[in-house]
């Protein structure tokens, strides 16, 4: 990492002011240059930190910049996805491309971004089979990935998928409704059939219903290691484990909340 790109203090007033002016120029799109700014900034100019230069520079990690990314994400989601769930894009020659993203992707487009989705330069990728190999193309925004699949990748591989490198929990409406042997994949944002990874095993606690006790218990079990055939996430991932556990509703009454600890 070059010394010149080391972050200054993120919350300083000077950095807040400079970022606001940069964002104003970007949103207005007038291309005017200020004394310190010789050219119009692009999104890639915010990145450059970390070992590989793929992290956002510390001086840009402010509420103003985060809000701009959130606004762009939500606006693109509303613009790209029609009411019937399809993404339709018309080419310059009049060809209309049409693709229906999976439910998880459509929900993610309406969902707020988490911090890892903003501070990483390429938090999404599109994967597809090309000449017998699995290819990947990385993207900064989910909207760019959806446009790429709609206009290009779906014609190369009809099963082209968008993968989030930072997992999402299962949507509330799908909890407990994914039939076996499918499981919720937190990175594909879709249901997948997981496959075994050789004979590898691991130990973990499993949420199981105890009929005698009448409540869930967490005994330790030995499990086979399974992986998603598309993104490679395994069943050892904590978001996978949380999403694919049995879900139950617990009603909290006044007595539950007012329960006092026993005196020692
Ligand atoms: Zn997956």
188 Cα to the center of ligand 1, angstroms: 4
Inside any domain, residue 174: no
Domains contained in the chain, number:
3
141 Cα to the center of ligand 1, angstroms: 18
169 Cα to the center of ligand 1, angstroms: 13
| Residue 90: count of CB within 10 angstroms of its CB | 9
pTM of the model: 0.76
* Pair (143, 95) in one structural domain: yes
Confidence of residue 60 (pLDDT cuts 50, 70, 90): confident
- Position 27 scores a pLDDT of 54
* Pair (154, 197) in one structural domain: no
Q: What's the rounded Cα separation, in Å, for the pair 69 and 47?
A: 13
53 Cα to the center of ligand 1, angstroms: 26
Inside any domain, residue 169: no
Inside any domain, residue 171: no
* Pair (134, 199) in one structural domain: no
* Pair (43, 82) in one structural domain: no
Inside any domain, residue 260: no
Q: Which structural domain, as residue segments, surrounds residue 28?
A: 3-61
Inside any domain, residue 258: no
Classify each residue of 149-162 as buried b or exposed e, where b means 16 or more C-beta atoms within 10 Å of its C-beta: bbeebbeebeebbb
pLDDT in tens, 13-29: 444 445 556 566 555 54
Inside any domain, residue 97: yes
Could you give the percent of the chain with pLDDT greater than 90? 52
* Pair (183, 225) in one structural domain: yes
pLDDT in tens, 88-124: 999 888 899 999 999 999 999 988 898 999 999 999 9
């Amino acid at each position: 990492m070059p010394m010149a790109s080391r972050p200054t203090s993120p919350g300083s007033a000077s950095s807040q002011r400079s970022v606001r002016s940069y964002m104003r120029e970007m949103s207005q799109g007038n291309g005017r240059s200020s004394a310190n700014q010789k050219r119009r900034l692009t999104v890639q100019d915010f990145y450059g930190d970390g070992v590989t230069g793929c992290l956002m520079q510390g001086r840009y990690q402010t509420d103003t910049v985060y809000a701009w990314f959130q606004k762009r994400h939500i606006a693109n989601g509303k613009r790209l996805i029609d009411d019937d769930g399809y993404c339709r894009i018309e080419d310059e020659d009049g060809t209309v491309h049409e693709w229906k993203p999976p439910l998880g992707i459509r929900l993610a487009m309406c969902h707020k971004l988490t911090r890892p989705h903003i501070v990483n330069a390429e938090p999404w990728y599109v994967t597809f089979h090309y000449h017998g190999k699995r290819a990947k193309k990385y993207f900064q925004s989910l909207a760019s990935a959806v446009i790429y699949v709609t206009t290009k990748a779906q014609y190369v591989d009809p099963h082209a998928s968008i993968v989030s490198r930072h997992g999402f929990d299962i949507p509330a409406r799908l909890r407990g409704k994914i039939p076996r042997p499918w499981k919720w994949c937190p990175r594909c944002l879709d249901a997948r059939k997981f496959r075994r990874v050789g004979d590898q095993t691991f130990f973990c606690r499993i949420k199981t219903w105890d009929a005698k006790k009448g409540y869930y218990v967490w005994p330790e079990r030995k499990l086979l290691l399974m992986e998603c055939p598309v993104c490679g996430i395994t069943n050892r991932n904590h978001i996978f484990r949380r999403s694919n556990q049995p879900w139950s509703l617990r009603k909290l009454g006044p007595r539950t909340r007012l329960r006092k600890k026993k005196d020692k």
